[in-house]
Amino acid sequence: MRATKWMTFGLTLLLLASLGASPTSAAAKITLVVAEDHDFGYVRTLFRHWVDADKNGCNTRYEVLIAEATLKPAVGARCYLSGGRWKSPYDAKVFTNPTGLDIDHMVPLAEAWRSGAWAWTSAQRMEYANDMDDPRTLLAVTAGLNRSKGDKDVAQWLPPKAQCTYISNWIAVKSRFDLTVDQVEADFLITKIASCNITNVVIA
């Protein structure tokens, strides 16, 4: 369902007010459109994920693990990782074995579908599912937390730690990919922008 212009304008003003910005500031570029979720037709295979885009033997999952390691691992045959260390941003838990980590899509694939990706091409969905241009899109996190999150939006699930960072990152990813928010999500974000004192969200 296409959102009306006043819905877009209304949410933009509320976000700007919360950010303490004027309509001419950089923050004015952050526009989140309020629209009803597209709640049908999603199949995970519509988003081709964990591809080896650069043909180096490491798919996107492993590329994220390598990029986000606090101690870089050795990379062996078939991208086997050893000797690395990771810290999950969702609970600050430290890992030395990547099997305890999942790669989380900040905005889950199903939520992206509901929020506008249903209208994307297959190539656009693949690009989103494997995006490494902005490190906020894909995160190596404690597997159990990623699975408890599932396909929930920001109003339905927050990590136990770094919640304000999570909210800021959610806004950034949704804005960058022109994804919509539903009304409950919008109301939640407006409240949290104020309570978290989020004064700047950089869009990659």
pLDDT tens by residue, 12-66: 535 544 555 544 444 445 778 899 999 999 999 999 999 999 999 999 999 999 9
Taking only the tens place, the pLDDT of each residue in 150-174 is 999 999 999 999 999 999 999 999 9
Residue 97 lies in a domain: yes
Residue 120 lies in a domain: yes
Residue 73 lies in a domain: yes
In the chain, how many domains are there?
1
Q: φ and ψ at 143, to 5 degrees?
A: -55, -45
Residue 33 lies in a domain: no
Residue 31 lies in a domain: no
| Both structure tokens of 157 | 């699930």
For residue 102, the cross-strand partners are 141
Residue 96 lies in a domain: yes
Lowest mean pLDDT of 2-11, 57-66, 127-136, name the range. Answer: 2-11
Q: Where are the alpha helices (DSSP H) in the chain?
A: 5-19, 60-68, 109-114, 122-129, 143-149, 163-176, 183-195
Residue 146 lies in a domain: yes
Report the distance separating Cα 167 and Cα 82, nearest Å: 32
Closest CA to 12 of 35, 36, 28: 28
Question: 83 vs 67, 79, 107, CA distance in Å?
Answer: 14, 13, 30
Report the distance separating Cα 173 and Cα 168, nearest Å: 9
Residue 62 lies in a domain: yes
2, pLDDT greater than 80: no
Structural domain harbouring 67: 39-176
Question: 169 vs 40, 52, 158, CA distance in Å?
Answer: 26, 25, 12
Q: Which amino acid is at 50?
A: W
